[in-house]
Structure 1
Amino acid sequence: MSINMKSWDFCRSITSVQILVALGQEYGAPLDRLLLNTALDQQSLSNPEIVVEASAEMAVVRNLLRELPHVPNLGLLAGERYLLSAYGIWGFALASSPTARKAVELSQTYQELTFVFSGFTVEEQGEYAILVFDNSDVPADLSLFSIERELHAAMIIIRELIGDAMGEEWVKFQHPRPENADVYEQCFHGRVEFSAERNELRFPRSALDKPRTFGNLTTASLLDKQCSELIAKRSARRGLSGKVRDIVLRQRPMSMDMELVADALCMTSRTLRRKLALEKTSFRQLVDEVRLSLAEEMLSGTRLSVEQIAERLNYADASSFSQAFKRMSGQTPGMLRKQGESLPS
């Protein structure tokens, strides 16, 4: 991330947009209004492999606030929907951590795999572990929504990780006490303060090092590595490469035709090839990345057979798919599927 980028300016999976759109629709907001100024559509929402810019998610939040001015505390309502399972590989990594301390360390290291606008740091003071959220560079019209969502989601995740050891948390908000402060007290199980110096979530420090029943150090280490690789992949695929990847992802059935993709980008295949070369990649490499990403998702998250996955990814047969998968990932489809079965539920 360049030094001039905002702390929230990173690509993220479309899952958060799906959550926000579902919230808006439950309160009667129409889909087309919720997706205004995002370049997204229903087909995009149905594709879990789509990666969006932070600006697109911010547009959805603005649309949500505009369409539902009569619904108070939308940030708190959104935050309660961000369970660990919503975060993909990041959530699995935290859930596999042998202790809450390891989970908190991973959560801070890989914030770019979350959906936060307000970045956070971790401190330990006396009897408390403290998550400190900074929303100073979040646009003013989204600041309140952001901090409500982030603190509520963080509280839910910490409770998922440490269970009864959480006790009663202590939450602090920088904004003044609102008229409907009772809603905050319903969302949080402990002390809630307003007009504080910082936005904080405090919980017992003693809970950090208690062994977790479902933790597994080997699995956590593997997922730690995969988190790092996913961030590297997302960072490397901005610009034209990212657009090509998105177009290939949206094609159903999946097409490997460079001419069709070039047409969608209003350029010739020759120009596309030249511009991708400037980004140190190629159409074939991007297609391989898309296929690998989808294959990993289907192998670990569905019961589709290898033959069915091969067909969906436009391989000639299961053998061709298996050979290509091993070439790209270094392991067979069966090996990855076994790893997925070993993850905590």
Structure 2
Amino acid sequence: MSERSLPSPGVTGWEFPRSAAGVRHLAGWAERAGLPVEPLLVGTGLVHDDLDRVGTVTAAQELQVARALARRAPHAAADVGRRYTAESFGVMGWAMRSSATVGDAVDVALRFIDLSFAFVIPVARLEGDQVVADLDAGALPADVRRWLLVRDTAAVATVLESLVPGGVGVVTSVEGDVATLAFSVAELDRPLVRDRGADRAAAEAACLGLADQHRDLPSTTADVRVLVAQRVRDGAPMGQVAAALGMTERTLRRRLAAEGTGYREVVDEVRSGLAARLLAVGLPVADVASRLGYAEPAALTHAHRRWTGEAPSRRRPRR
């Protein structure tokens, strides 16, 4: 255990674009609490009827929603945080759930923290026989600082505890603008009960691709890329992806066309990106083909030649 290390968070600041699912989570909590949603959106340029159609929001927009909710429900931060699950975070949650151990899941969460809805970025370290994570909210606006600190601390603790039966025994404390979470370092080696067919390599490759590109992608295209990556082993049927987005295939085609692309193009982009990463780590061509939803390696070879002009075998590392 002495040789173990924890990664630095993938970002240090909170001003990164986010999935609109973060705003939908806050709005959903408000609705369940009997609070009107529209007042939460004042000043964001968003309207309630559009929330399900918005793919990405700015950090400032989500911050404004959080600020409005904090004013109306000042004591609700911990409860809001406890409503998050790993699955709330889309592709990052998929990668966490596909991890072999708690330590692997923590590694994913830290490296891809910008795929979450966090405003207070956790910084983790090993301290004796404890894993200790500090959350410093000092850089956030004073009027919402404490609320977000309590919310994010509760969210991190809840997701950690959900990874294994019985939890990992997280102990939290909040003092001033800083919160601390701690649990035994031995918990990092506990195996996760993974979903059948969980594929950590594909999940992490999807995280890398999204982290590299999500800031530059139009909203619908970004959402489709995530959903395609999750379903690529099964061929990523367009009907399933459209249904996951709450729209018809026709609407999805129209949205993608307005963003200058098409569904097959997005599937190709996801497959080519995943293929490059999976081949780069040395996976056999047949395994890569299976993970990308091709019935035969020959289909991957044909597609790969179309993408790159060469056979996939040439992209595997030489030994």
TM-score, normalised by the number of residues in structure 2: 0.69
Aligned-partner Cα distance in 1 for 2:135–2:223: 37
Name the aligned partner's letter for residue 35 of structure 1. L
Question: 2:148 maps to which residue?
Answer: 146
Aligned-partner Cα distance in 2 for 1:306–1:217: 19
Name the aligned partner's letter for residue 174 of structure 2. F
Aligned-partner Cα distance in 1 for 2:251–2:74: 47
User: Is structure 2 residue 206 aligned with structure 1 residue 226?
Assistant: yes
Q: CA deviation at 1:304?
A: 2.7
Q: CA deviation at 1:309?
A: 3.7
Distance 1:323 1:132, change over 3 A: closer
Alignment of 1:316-331 (within 5 A): 324-325=265-266, 327-330=268-271
Name the aligned partner's letter for residue 235 of structure 1. R
Once the two structures are superposed, what CA deviation does each residue of 1:102-141 show, in whole Å capped at 9, x if it has no partner? 1111111111011111111111112211121111101111
Question: 1:210 maps to which residue?
Answer: 190
Q: CA deviation at 1:26?
A: 2.8
Q: CA deviation at 1:213?
A: 2.8
Aligned-partner Cα distance in 2 for 1:291–1:164: 33
Distance 1:290 1:138, change over 3 A: closer
Measured on the aligned residues, the alpha-carbon RMSD in Å equals 3.6
Alignment of 1:77-116 (within 5 A): 77-116=79-118
Give the aligned length.
Answer: 257
Q: CA deviation at 1:100?
A: 0.8
For structure 2, list consecutive stretches of 5 or more residues without a partner in the other structure: 1-10, 243-247, 273-288, 295-319
**Is the Cα–Cα contact under 8 Å of residues 149 and 178 in structure 2 kept in the other structure?**
no
**Is the Cα–Cα contact under 8 Å of residues 225 and 270 in structure 2 kept in the other structure?**
no
User: Is structure 2 residue 67 aligned with structure 1 residue 62?
Assistant: yes
Question: 1:170 maps to which residue?
Answer: 171
For structure 1, list consecutive stretches of 5 or more residues without a partner in the other structure: 176-196, 238-244, 250-288, 340-345
Question: 1:35 maps to which residue?
Answer: 41
**Is the Cα–Cα contact under 8 Å of residues 93 and 103 in structure 1 kept in the other structure?**
yes
User: Is structure 2 residue 243 aligned with structure 1 residue 304?
Assistant: no
User: Is structure 2 residue 295 aligned with structure 1 residue 293?
Assistant: no
Question: For structure 1, which segment, 97-106 or 305-314, has the greater mean C-alpha deviation from structure 2 after superposition?
Answer: 305-314
Name the aligned partner's letter for residue 50 of structure 2. S
Aligned-partner Cα distance in 1 for 2:182–2:119: 20
Alignment of 1:277-292 (within 5 A): 289=221, 292=224
Aligned-partner Cα distance in 1 for 2:241–2:116: 30
TM-score, normalised by the number of residues in structure 1: 0.64
Once the two structures are superposed, what CA deviation does each residue of 1:233-258 show, in whole Å capped at 9, x if it has no partner? 22335xxxxxxx35xx4xxxxxxxxx
Q: Which entry has the higher C-alpha Rg, 1 or 2?
A: 1
Name the aligned partner's letter for residue 296 of structure 1. V
Aligned-partner Cα distance in 1 for 2:138–2:20: 24
